[in-house]
């Protein structure tokens, strides 16, 4: 009885998150998720390519935020300032969806398989940023390094933000960028 197709997908997602929260990712079977959502296991795999992907449904927006941030930066801006601006633009949506991020981080911390998927998504996103920077005129080599480093700074900032409850993300981002600048400049290697 296909009401709209999207309803089933949402029921599946809710069922999965509920069960994962209650018993952990590994102790839940896809059949159970489907049963709680009122559909068949087969239908689960019609909406999600695999069991882990249910957790990353909200992360699709992250890609959109990144793309939107990139297009909003004036053309002609150099790669590194562009990346810095993109990170700043990502702060508001990330703060607004902290709950989702925390939930995913909690499950990932307890589930290697989920951790792997998260790491792969991150790597993929870095590649996407590098491609878009290149499309904006940056040298490919430079774009890749900027994307890696800039995202690394953001990821680091998010990490310390998560470990400091009650704080805002932006200061962590600023501190991380400042720290990076100080490191690369400060202790000048003699070689």
Residues within window 6-25 making contact with its own copies, judged by CB under 8 A: none
Q: Does 43 participate in binding its own copies (rule CB under 8 A)? A: no
110 is a contact residue toward its own copies (CB under 8 A): no
Q: Rule CB under 8 A: is residue 141 a binding residue for its own copies?
A: yes
Residues in CB range of 133: below 8 A, 6 or more apart: 70, 79, 82, 83, 142, 143, 146, 147
**What does 81 bind: its own copies, DNA, none (CB cut-off 5 to 8 Å by kind)?**
its own copies
Long-range contacts of 37-46 (CB under 8 A, 24+ apart): 37/8, 37/11, 37/12, 38/8, 38/11, 39/8, 39/11, 39/12, 43/8, 43/12, 44/12
183 binds, among DNA, its own copies, none (CB under 5 to 8 A by kind): its own copies
Complex with DNA: residue 50 or 95, whichever CB lies closer:
50
Residues in 24-83 at the binding interface with DNA, rule: CB under 7 A:
28-31, 38-43, 45-47, 49-52
């Amino acid at each position: 009885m296909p009401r709209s197709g999207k309803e089933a997908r949402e029921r599946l997602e809710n069922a999965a998150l509920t069960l994962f929260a209650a018993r952990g990712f590994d102790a839940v079977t896809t059949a159970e998720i489907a049963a709680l959502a009122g559909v068949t296991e087969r239908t689960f795999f019609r909406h999600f390519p695999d069991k882990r992907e249910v957790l990353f449904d909200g992360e699709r927006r992250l890609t959109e935020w990144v793309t939107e941030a990139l297009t909003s930066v004036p053309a002609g801006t150099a790669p590194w300032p562009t990346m810095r601006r993109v990170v700043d633009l990502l702060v508001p949506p990330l703060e607004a969806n902290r709950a989702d991020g925390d939930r995913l981080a909690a499950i990932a911390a307890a589930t290697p398989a989920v951790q792997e998927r998260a790491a792969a998504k991150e790597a993929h996103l870095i590649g996407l940023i590098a491609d878009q920077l290149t499309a904006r005129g940056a040298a490919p080599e430079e774009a890749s390094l900027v994307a890696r480093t800039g995202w690394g700074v953001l990821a680091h900032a998010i990490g310390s933000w998560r470990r400091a409850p009650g704080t805002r993300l932006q200061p962590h981002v600023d501190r991380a960028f400042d720290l990076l600048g100080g490191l690369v400049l400060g202790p000048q290697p003699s070689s």
